[in-house]
Structure 1
Amino acid sequence: MVYRIAHADEYLAITGVWIDTVKITKSAWVWPLQRCQRFSIQPEDYSLNLQAMTREKLQFLLPVVFTVGPDVNQRGGAPSRVHHSQESSEDHGDALIKYAMLLAEGDSKSGSGKAHIENIVKGIIEGETRVLVSALTMEEIFTEREEFKKRIFRNIQSELDQFGLKIYNANVKELRDAPNSNYFNSLSQKAHEGAINQARIDVAEAQRRGNVGEAQRVGEQNREIAKINAETAVQKTVRDSEKAQAEATLATRKTQYNRDVSIVQIEANRATEARDEELRRDVEVKRAQTELERLRASDVVKATILKESKQQAADAKNYEEQARSNAAFYSEQKAADAHAYKTRIHAEATYLAAAKQAEADLIRQQKEAAGLSAMAHAYADMSSAFGGPAGLIQYLMIEKGVYTELAKANAEAVRGLNPKMTIWNTGAQAGSEGSGSQGTSMGGMDSIRNVYQMLPPLMSTINDQTGISLPEWAFGKLAHQISDTEVNGTAVTDMSPAIKTTTVAKAK
């Protein structure tokens, strides 16, 4: 068993077992007891020089070239028998089957299938062409060349169909005289002589028309020359007049043009000067507006600083008055209950007076703030011009030299300072080990104790750092009282009802 594959321009013809006639395919397995034959489907050219006779008994030579090959488009198929689970198909009514059988017949008879097919094709072409020519006249063959070609094509194709062949191209060349015949030569001479005689007649007629026309042209030429000379003289006079008029018009227009140019130049210079003055005026206006906004921003900053300083002074004064009233109240309470009541009344009166003064200051500051608010609306436009509040603030601080002043103030603030640090501990860490057990017995009083232990060193630290001394009645006595209650780190539980605490240890 061999697997055979045909080339692109070939087919395989397989015969033998399991195939009724011939199987045409491109590739197939060739089984034992089967025969495979390759054959080409390339068309072949058949050139013939036919000697034919017309209906008028005129013999001539008819050179033709036909391109003939297998008709690969006319295919037919039917399923074949199946043997050993193998499926195949055989082509019936197929042009390729007819062509393959014709090749096989030629191989069996003459040993060459191509020669056999060539003899058949040439015989069909010669026979059909002679039959067709014998039914036509020479004039019909000449005048109806295309129809003659189509009839030859149809007649020959109908005969070639039975062999699976197809005419791909048919070319009929020029007709020629057969041996011992001068028909086409005579026709050619006749046409040649007729053309020569007609040419002579045409030449004579052309010469006659040329002589007459030449004389006419000479006379017309002389008349036209005289007429042209006269018209030229008249036209020269007219042109001279028009030239003088055009020169005068040109001079006038040049004068007008120069005048218009001068006017336009003067107007342009005046417009440029006016535009320059307008731009200068706009620059001055914008410069004045910028200076005004700068002054307004400066006033706003000053007003803000003044407001804050006054607010701080008022708060300090309020705090001082409140502290003074509280000190007087608590000192008089220690002296006597009756005197304390009187002192409290006096302190409340003093507090109310201070509150009234604070309210008056607040109202005054609100009025000042209203004025500043009106000014702030003006600065809002500046803020938009500088891209937002941040841009406005930066502009004002740069304009007023705030950054420089702040740097100087910070330098002066830290100059000569001697900072102190104070660290203190409370609870068991500050006393002896025994204080821890005592603190446990105190329960929830530890938190209160730690707070009061922290106050004396805190007040001392504030005094060291800022120089501010708090009232002695509040913290001085309290520190003294706490120090009196320290007994070797042991918690003291018998104290006044106001404060109960434990030992405190302070470290600086």
Structure 2
Amino acid sequence: MVGYAIAGPNEYLAITGSSVRDIKLAKKAFVRPFEKCVRFDVTPENYTFEVQAMSAEKLPFVLPAVFTIGPRVDDHESLVLYARLMSVHDKKSNHVNELVQGVIEGETRVLAASMTMEDIFNGTKKFKEEVFQKVQLELNQFGLHIYNANVKQLVDVRGHEYFSYLGQKTQMEAANQAKIDVAEATMKGEIGAKQREGQTRQNADKIDADTKITTTQRLGDGQKEEIRVKAEVKIFENRKEADVAEANAELEKKKTRWTQSVQMAQVEATKAVSIREAELQADLEKKNAYTRTEKLKAELLSKAEVEYETKVQEANWELYEKQKAADAALYENQQAAES
């Protein structure tokens, strides 16, 4: 087929040919001449089996199982291995079915042959997990992956009802154990009831005795408390009387100090008035003396100024007379000179 090829959503293209070294995987590709293109589906498939195995005691049993197996699409090498497997077979063909069944039956039988029937029955979960792991290791070489494995309950082979007997044994043991548990519970209940009844009586007697003791103690405590309160009241009254006496004495002391302070203040005020009068009298005398001195100075100064003015006037008059006489003599001399 030459041309453009496109794979479906759950398909891949496996291309081989002269221009391809091994196998080329693609979702879409152009197929050249001398190339071969094969589509293969990667959708997981369910495989249902009833594996017949035998334990170490040679006891046969059937293991019903449903495996969901498909290629690992997230691993390129696994896809290549799966493409080689499916290139010549369809995934629903007997070849693939027989391959998967052969791997599962082979690993299950090998594992069962190494275990006793008791181990298989008691460790069913562990047995299933080991089967799953060993089958997966074998399927890896074909690029297959177990997406889900549902291993059902182990089934007896006709004529070998071992699991049925084990189930009946387990049921009988459970029933007997239940009867024993019921009997033990009944016995414990009766013993517990008697113990509770005895404890109730003991507790009642103890409570009565404790009540009497408590009542007596409370009466004694009440009397002690009354005596203590009276003593405290008396002590309080005595303290109050002492405090009142002390307060009165302190008040008298303060009154005495206040009286002395008032008298001292009066004496000091009287002396202060006398001192102030003396100071004012001295200031007055000083001011009178100063006034008389200034008045005398003024009188003397006025007299001196008058005398000075008089002498100045007289000197000026004499100077004027002399000047006038000189001017007259000069005039006469000039007249004489002209004539």
SS at match of 1:36: strand
Q: Which amino acid aligns with 1:114?
A: K
Q: Is the 8 A contact 2:38 2:87 kept in 1?
A: no
Amino acid of the structure 2 residue aligned with 1:64: A
Deviations 1:66-112 (A, max 9, x none): 3322244554xxxxxxxxxxxxxxxxxx4323322322322xxxxx4
1:220 alignment counterpart = 199
The one-letter code sitting in structure 2 at the alignment partner of 1:164 is G
Shift of 1:151: 4.1
Pick the aligned partner of 2:121 from 122, 142, 152: 142
Question: 1:418 matched to which residue of 2?
Answer: none
1:186 maps to a residue whose letter is Y
Match of 2:170 among 176, 184, 191: 191
1:181 aligns with 160
In structure 2, the CA distance between the partners of 1:192 and 1:147, relative to structure 1 (3 Å rule), is: closer
**Alpha-carbon distance in structure 2 between the residues aligned to 1:8 and 1:243:** 98
Q: Name the counterpart of 2:11.
A: 10
* Amino acid aligned to 2:70: G
- How many Å separate the matches in 2 of 1:242 and 1:11? 100
CA RMSD of aligned residues (A): 3.6
Aligned residues of 2:40 and 2:87 also touching (Cα < 8 A): no
Aligned to 2:112: 133
- Are 2:92 and 1:114 equivalent residues in the alignment? yes
State the 1:114 CA deviation: 2.4
Q: Distance in 1 between matches of 2:130 and 2:192?
A: 55
Shift of 1:8: 5.6
Structure 1 residue 132 displacement after superposition: 2.6
| Residue 208 (structure 1) shift | 3.4
1: CA distance between counterparts of 2:167 and 2:78? 46
Letter in 1 for 2:53: A
Q: Which residue of 1 aligns with 2:66?
A: 65
**TM-score (ref. length: structure 1):** 0.38
Q: Give, in whole Å, the separation in 2 of the partners of 1:73 and 1:212.
A: 68
How far is 1:2 from its partner?
4.1
The answer on 1:55 being equivalent to 2:56 is: yes
Give the Å deviation of 1:40: 2.8
The code of the aligned residue for 2:13 comes to L
Matches within 5 A, 1:226-305: 226-235=205-214
1:393-412 superposed matches below 5 A: none
Residue 61 to residue 236, structure 1, CA distance change in 2 (3 Å)? farther
| One-letter identity of the residue aligned with 2:198 | G
Aligned to 2:235: none
Structure 1 residues without counterparts, runs of 5 or longer: 76-93, 107-111, 253-508
| Cα shift readout 1:258-308 (whole Å, capped 9, x = no counterpart) | xxxxxxxxxxxxxxxxxxxxxxxxxxxxxxxxxxxxxxxxxxxxxxxxxxx
Q: Distance in 2 between matches of 1:42 and 1:202?
A: 54
Cα distance, 1:118 vs structure 2: 2.6
2: distance between equivalents of 1:220 and 1:99?
A: 79
- Could you say what secondary structure the match of 2:20 adopts? coil
Letter in 2 for 1:51: Q
* Change in CA separation of 1:197 and 1:158 when aligned onto 2, cut-off 3 Å: closer
Instruction: Sort the Cα spacing of 1:123 and 1:24 in 2 relative to 1 into closer, same or farther, 3 A.
Output: same
Q: 2:158 & 2:171 partners in 1: Cα distance?
A: 22
Q: Does the residue aligned with 1:114 lie in a helix, a strand or coil? A: coil
Aligned to 1:348: none
Q: Are the aligned partners of 1:104 and 1:113 in contact in 2 as well (CA < 8 Å)?
A: no
- List alignment gaps of at least 5 residues for structure 2: 233-339
1:197 and 1:104, CA in 2 relative to 1: closer, same or farther beyond 3 A? same
Aligned residue pair count:
227
Question: Residue by residue, what CA displacement relative to the aligned partner does 1:151-174 show, whole Å, maximum 9, x if unpaired?
Answer: 434543343234322334444333
Residue in 1 aligned with 2:102?
A: 123
1:447-482 residue CA offsets vs partner (Å, 9 max, x unmatched): xxxxxxxxxxxxxxxxxxxxxxxxxxxxxxxxxxxx
- Give the structure 2 partner of residue 99 of structure 1: 82
**By how many angstroms is 1:60 displaced?**
1.8
1:399-438 mapped onto 2 (5 Å cutoff)? none
Query: Which amino acid counterpart does residue 127 of structure 2 have in structure 1?
Result: F
Q: Which amino acid aligns with 2:47?
A: Y
2:202, 2:137 → 1: CA distance?
A: 78
How far 1:9 moved relative to its partner? 4.2
TM superposition shift of 1:228: 1.3
Structure 1 or 2, whichever has the larger Rg, is 2
Identify the residue that residue 144 of structure 2 maps to in structure 1. 165
CA change 1:4–1:141 in 2 (3 A) is same
Q: CA 1:209–1:135 in structure 2 vs 1: closer, same or farther (change >3 Å)?
A: closer
Q: Does the CA-based 8 Å contact 1:105-1:113 persist in structure 2?
A: no
Separation in 2 of the partners of 1:158 and 1:2?
39
Shift of 1:22: 3.3
Task: State the partner residue of 1:352.
Answer: none
- The 1-side partners of 2:9 and 2:145 are apart by 19
